[in-house]
Amino acid sequence: MYAITGVTGHVGGATARALREADVPYRAVVRDPRKGAGHPETAVADFADRPALAAALSGCAGAFVMLPTLPGGDDAAHRALADAIAGAVADSGVPHVVMLSSLGADLAEGNGPVRWLHHLESRLRDTGSRVTAIRSPHFQEKVEEILGAATGAGVYPVFGDADVPVPMVATRDIGTTAAAALVSPPEDSEVVDLVAPEYTERQVAGELGELLGRELEVVSLPREAWLGALTDSGVPPLLAAELAELYDAANRGVLQPRGDRRHVCATGISATLRECAAPTTPAG
């Protein structure tokens, strides 16, 4: 039995699906009991509720955990949440933990919100459990965040250079990797860097435009415009500032693979874009 958190999200959901398709038993950890439908076993726990989360993980051979983003939360709030998750792992006695992390999590600062993943990685290693940290590049599904601008104004905003190729991974591939790590844990703790296909934002905009049936205008925003663009789109100010620092770190080449080994992910952007744009793609 394996405990899976975040089953209502892209990565946790993909991890659960991979286990289900392999007929491997798992327990879905949800905050809302109504979100447990369709899973063979569920446990109700909030990430911040250390005793409840520990109970949800107890008795499992492994667990998949992640650090949610608190839209209005500051640095202290995210570190406290990471501490609660690590504390629950320690209390539960689960022997192996697979964690969703990010490229750049080897750095304690200068990487925006990724520094909170650095903190969680460190805290999990202190629990005594074996830890598999899966460090991911950008999600291909991030295109969902700009669908409104694309379908409305026909604009594809870019926080940086639209013509620099960057690795983009499909969350289904992350889930498959996490499930495999749970079922076949390593002998020792390790960091796994995901290697994914590379695309420029202009390429992504071109393919998305074809799916939407319209040409999208690629707009590269200057650094001084990032905060305003993010807050205007509804991102809380604290989170907007963190995201701006993250984009800056990515543009400076800070987020690099520096783990123990690499795992190649093969899903291309076309398949992901078709899924993401399906609700807005014209019929016929």
Domains and CATH numbers, the chain: 2-280 (3.40.50.720)
For 111-139, the three-class secondary structure string (H helix, E strand, C coil) is CCCHHHHHHHHHHHHCCCCEEEEEEECEE
Tell me, what's the pLDDT at 37? 84
**Ordered DSSP codes for the chain:** -EEEE-TTSHHHHHHHHHHHHTT--EEEEESSGGGGTTSSSEEE--TT-HHHHHHHHTT-SEEEE-----TT--HHHHHHHHHHHHHHHHHHT-SEEEEEEETTTT-SSSSTTHHHHHHHHHHHHTTTSEEEEEEE-EEGGGGGGGHHHHHHT-EEEESS-TTS-EEEE-HHHHHHHHHHHHHS--SS-EEEEEE--EE-HHHHHHHHHHHHTSPPEEEE--GGGHHHHHHHTT--HHHHHHHHHHHHHHHTT-----SSEEEE----HHHHHHHHHGGGSPP-
Count CB-CB contacts under 10 A for residue 102.
25
Cα separation, 179 vs 148, whole angstroms: 32
pTM (global) more than 0.85: yes
Sign of torsion, CA 271 276 278 281?
negative
- Nearest residue to 160 via CA among 106, 218, 107, 232: 218
Q: Per the structure block, which two tokens stand in for 192?
A: 């796994």
pLDDT tens-digit profile, the chain (284 residues): 999 999 999 999 999 999 999 999 999 999 988 888 889 899 999 999 999 999 999 999 999 999 999 999 999 999 999 999 999 999 999 999 999 999 999 999 999 999 999 999 999 999 999 999 999 999 999 999 889 889 888 999 999 999 999 999 999 999 999 999 999 999 999 999 999 999 999 999 999 999 999 999 999 999 999 999 999 889 999 999 999 999 999 999 999 999 999 999 999 999 999 998 876 555 44
Q: pLDDT at position 156, please?
A: 94
Nearest alpha-carbon partner for 208 in 256, 168, 259: 168
